[in-house]
Amino acid sequence: MTRRVFRIWRGDKSGGTLQDYTVEVSEGMVVLDAVHQVQATQAPDLACRWNCKAGKCGSCAAEVNGRPRLMCMTRLDTLPANEPITVRPMKTFPIVKDLVTDVSWNYRVNRLIPAFRPRPPDAPDGTWRMSQAEVDRVQEFRKCIECFLCQDTCHVLREHRLMGQEENGMRRELFVGPRFLVRLAALEMHPLDTGDRLGLLKDQFHIGLCNITKCCTEVCPEHIHITDNAIIPLKERVVDRFYDPLMRVVRKLTGADRHKVPLPLAAEDPSVSGTTGSGDE
Ligand code: SF4
Ligand code: SF4
Ligand code: FES
């Protein structure tokens, strides 16, 4: 047993500070264990969200030593010894209390995305034919656990706050963020889907605001290649469609998009306001 200092953000939407707690730690402990120990022995009112303690529910997302991470998957022995471990709530989303943030903006954005729209079955027995390579390609995107660490780290949301909200009587642009570009990639690249969401990607979801810094990919606990496999191929499709007349002709002649039907926003009211972030002292 050794002792470590945890510097944990305590407060609510009106403000807060970092507070130190000394915790007895043992081999194999993760940050979430330490937070639970603080709750059990020193601060029963410390709020934190968690469910699975196995890196699968995405609930325990926070910022450990300044880096967006899952608390249940961050072992203490991977963090620098002999200095306090800081634990803060995700900065991009509004504070509820202590380490708990309100991530509901993400669910409102999700509702805007037109759902899967499969083509009719290929065979009389109601089954489809598709290549294994096409299936494998979208499988990666299905691993997302909706922890929203990528949303937290993306500077377009974190710093520029382009969340479609009203501010000083003006509506700011909506950037849906890496998590929802992953979902859009899963739909657009699905071998059975007939929906065409490229117009939405360009004009409503503003994929052009992503400048491929790859910060989202670096923090994804599921190791999804968000930029290389989702965002860049989507950007290429948008460029082919709207900015490259030669590719537009080629796609028309080859019938590449013949099954695709342009889709409108799934929800009529794209209001995604109420997104003031917090987490600062
Ligand atoms: S690559 Fe794009 S989506 Fe990912 S963090 Fe950078 S700007 Fe955001
Ligand atoms: S893409 Fe990765 S980081 Fe983003 S919400 Fe999904 S699992 Fe979390
Ligand atoms: S508690 Fe489920 S991912 Fe951490």
Residue-range definition of the domain harbouring residue 21: 2-100
Q: Is residue 74 part of a domain?
A: yes
- pLDDT exceeds 60 at position 17: yes
How many CA atoms within 13 Å lie on the side-chain side of 163?
28
User: Which phi and psi (to 5°) does residue 260 adopt?
Assistant: -85, 135
Q: Phi-psi region for residue 78, left (φ > 0), alpha (ψ -120 to 50) or beta?
A: alpha
User: Which has the higher per-residue pLDDT, 167 or 38?
Assistant: 38
Same domain, 167 and 206: yes
Same domain, 117 and 229: yes
Q: What is the spatial distance between Cα 132 and Cα 212, in angstroms, rounded to a whole number? A: 28
Q: In which residue are the tokens 């509901």 written?
A: 104
- What's the CATH number where 186 sits? 1.10.1060.10
8 Å CB contact between 66 and 215: no
Q: How many structural domains does the chain have?
A: 2
Ligand 3 pocket member 191 (CB < 6 A):
no
pLDDT single digits (tens) 80-120: 998 999 999 999 999 999 999 999 999 999 999 999 999 99
Ligand 1 pocket member 227 (CB < 6 A):
yes
Q: Is residue 96 part of a domain?
A: yes
Burial of 176 (0-12, 13-18, 19+ CB in 10 A): buried
- pLDDT exceeds 70 at position 9: yes
- Among 59, 75, 100, the domain boundary falls at 100
pLDDT single digits (tens) 190-229: 999 999 999 999 999 999 999 999 999 999 999 999 999 9
Atom of ligand 3 nearest to the CA of 56: 3
Q: Which of 128-142, 220-234, 239-253 comes out lowest in average pLDDT? A: 239-253
Q: What is the spatial distance between Cα 64 and Cα 179, in angstroms, rounded to a whole number? A: 20
Same domain, 87 and 179: no
Same domain, 221 and 110: yes
Atom of ligand 1 nearest to the CA of 157: 8
- Count of CB atoms situated within 10 Å of the CB of 218: 14
pLDDT single digits (tens) 253-281: 888 777 789 998 988 654 665 444 443 43
